[in-house]
Amino acid sequence: MNRAPLLAAIAAIAIVGAGLSLTIPYIALRMEAAGYSAGANGASTAVAGLAVFFASPLAPVVARRLGIGNTLLAAAALGALALLALASTNNVGAWTAIRFFYSCALSALFVLSEYAITAMAPDDSRGFWVGVYSTALGLGFAVGPALLGLTGTDTPLALYIGVGLHVLALAPILLARNAIPGFSDAPTPRSASLFARAPTLMLAALVFGVVEAGGMGLTPVHAMRNGYDARNAALLVTLIALSNAVFQIPIGLVADRTDKRRLMRIIAAAGALLSLALAFSAASPAFAPLLFVWAGLLGGLYMVGLAELGDVYDGAELAAANAAFIMLYALGMLLGPPLLGAAIDASPAHGMFGALAGLLAAYVMALRIFPR
């Protein structure tokens, strides 16, 4: 087995995690310090989601013309240039424009690295390799806050370190660029037809987007509304990142040895039950350990869905399915925060995790009703 394309995909996704977790809090903290409203801050953050919708379907089209390896190289280089541009200005309008282009570059890395990992991983160990890939994403997400914690936001030093990480990622991509299989010349299928073939599989990305951006992203807010101080509420984010790094490879190994759809149903059902437990343990010592298991387990929902994509689609269809999967994830990221934020306002103790329990229970029912 040629591991070079798999290592290139892992390097690319680690950059996606590090880049997002670095730029989102960096810009948010700089805007907060400059006196901008939370609404303006949120609008700037939403630009990243819009970039995903724009760039994800275009990535396979560009890759068909340039080659997947060359497109990955171009995206990593564009990301490094965007970080340099971000470090060179204090203009908020420029930050928002740069964030759009940077997020487009990360979207291309995301779509094409997912294609590489699902296309190149052997059938009998795809779950393991996708687990390694997801672990790299989780560790990447831990890098950004760690860098900002060390350097602060008063200087752009963390951004320059991010540029260095992009450059490091170029090496495995260069080594593997000719080994990643290209697409056929067949027309790229429409997202609607891909969704119709496996709707509940595709919906895994939407559900996880709501859970990650809404539930995991708003957990510090939920915690502070229920008696945590800011420091301990922030530590819960680190706990979530660590849980995702711990759980993904074991879940991937299980996915290689069982029916993936059944495993997704088990994960969603357990996630619903754990959400209910979290809804009624906000001020309890059990909250943190329950959160650790909840976050790590539900991280497997996206990962197992991604592994299943490789069983259902191939070639150009697989690349287009990866793009559709990521677009649905981005939709969940856009819908989750405002809906779950409203749930917290309505019921600070029970609202967020109660709503997530309902969402996951509905997804379990959909998995039971539809064949895929």
Domain ranges for the chain: 1-183, 185-372
Per-residue pLDDT for 299 more than 70?
A: yes
- The sign of the torsion formed by the CA atoms of 344, 347, 350, 354 equals negative
Least confident piece of the model among 178-182, 186-190, 325-329, 355-359:
186-190
The CA-atom distances, in angstroms, between 227 and each of 39, 223, 230, 281, 340 are 25, 7, 10, 12, 19
Question: 19: pLDDT confidence band, cut at 50, 70 and 90?
Answer: confident
Question: pLDDT of 154-172, one tens digit each?
Answer: 888 989 998 998 888 888 8
Least confident piece of the model among 37-51, 83-97, 233-247, 249-263:
37-51
Which of 55-69, 104-118, 250-264 ranks highest by mean pLDDT? 250-264
The CA-atom distances, in angstroms, between 354 and each of 134, 275, 344 are 27, 7, 10
Question: pLDDT of 89-119, one tens digit each?
Answer: 888 778 888 989 999 999 898 888 888 888 7
Per-residue pLDDT for 67 more than 90?
A: no
Q: Per-residue b/e over 47-57, b at no fewer than 16 CB within 10 Å? A: bbbebbeebbb
> Are 287 and 236 within 8 A, CB to CB?
no
- Phi-psi label, residue 11: left if phi above 0, alpha if psi -120 to 50, beta otherwise: alpha
- The sign of the torsion formed by the CA atoms of 95, 98, 100, 106 equals negative
User: What is the pLDDT, as a whole number, of residue 149?
Assistant: 73
Average pLDDT, the chain: 83
Fold: same for 1-183 and 185-372: yes
pTM of this structure: 0.77
Q: Which amino acid, residue 25?
A: P
CA atoms within 13 A on the CB side of 15: 38
Which of 68-82, 303-317, 338-352 ranks highest by mean pLDDT? 68-82
Which tokens go with 247? 């759980």
The reply to whether CATH 3.40.50.720 applies to domain 185-372 is no
Distance of CA 311 to the CA centre of its chain: 21
Question: 187: pLDDT confidence band, cut at 50, 70 and 90?
Answer: low
Residues whose CB falls within 8 Å of the CB of residue 316, separated by 6 or more in sequence, listed in order: 60, 64, 183, 184, 186, 187, 188, 189
CATH T-level topology, domain 1-183: Growth Hormone; Chain: A; (1.20.1250)
Nearest to 249 by CA among 325, 169, 136: 136
